[in-house]
Amino acid sequence: MSAQLYERTFHEALPSAEPILLRKLAVQSGRRIPAKLQVRTEHRVHCSRCFWRQGMKASLFYRIAAVVLLLFAIGHTLGFRQSDPSWGVDALLGSMRSIHFDVQGFSRTYWDLFVAAGLSVGVFYFFAAILAWQLGNLPAETLARMRGTAWAFAVCFAAITVVSWRHLFILPIVFSGVITVCLIVAAWLSGPKFRER
């Protein structure tokens, strides 16, 4: 293989091939990688390692968020209808269950609306857990292209944390806060961390 043909082969292969394959080609042909392509190849290896490290970190935080979301979903779904007798709300709950009213052709109680809202939130948390796990399984390159989705996910749970702080109590505040932190860190890590030279 002539030097010019050999160098042209490397130029054509470099954009799509992994560096290890380029080195294998060099060994098989008994030639070295052209000097001016060495920097590009080494830079490609460096970029691949950057993506690998950032992907692992983002994946870790997405998976932590997924596990916490699953626990949150289970706890919320099983617990939101529970009440403590010391709260003194038994009469109120009885009224919520017994007083019916018509809404757009349906006879409902306020308890029906409360249960529907609570179960809908539980379904959303289960979905969010699946979404976070799936994001944790994506390659770093794909995550870097989905920064809008990643940040929207994080902002959504930041808003839920604010609502929890304003209207709920310690458990949902802690759960939503931990989830928000994990999603923000994962979204930040999923962005590109290098520039082409």
Contact 33, 41 (CB under 8 A): yes
Residues 6+ positions from 7 with CB-CB distance below 8 Å:
34, 37
146-173 pLDDT, tens digit each: 999 999 999 999 999 999 999 999 999 9
Same domain, 103 and 178: yes
For residues 66 and 27, give the distance between their C-alpha atoms in angstroms, rounded to a whole number. 45
Confidence band, pLDDT 50/70/90 cuts, at residue 140 = confident
| Residue at 38 is within a domain | no
33-75 pLDDT, tens digit each: 555 455 444 444 445 555 544 445 899 999 999 999 999 999 9
| Residue at 43 is within a domain | no
For residues 46 and 49, give the distance between their C-alpha atoms in angstroms, rounded to a whole number. 5
| Residue at 46 is within a domain | no
Residue 8 has pLDDT above 90, yes or no: no
For residues 47 and 66, give the distance between their C-alpha atoms in angstroms, rounded to a whole number. 28
Query: 120-151: b or e for each residue (b if 16 or more CB lie within 10 Å)?
Result: ebbeebbebbebbbebbebebeebbeeeeebb
Same domain, 21 and 115: no
User: What amino acid is encoded at 63 in this protein?
Assistant: R
Ranges 26-30, 77-81, 168-172: which has the least confidence: 26-30
| Residue at 139 is within a domain | yes
| Residue at 194 is within a domain | no
Residue 78 has pLDDT above 70, yes or no: yes
Segments forming the whole domain that contains residue 13:
3-33
Residue 85 has pLDDT above 70, yes or no: yes
Same domain, 101 and 28: no
Instruction: Please count the structural domains in the chain.
Output: 2
Q: Which of 53, 61, 54 is nearest to 132 (CA)?
A: 61
86-101 pLDDT, tens digit each: 999 999 999 999 999 9
Global pTM value: 0.70
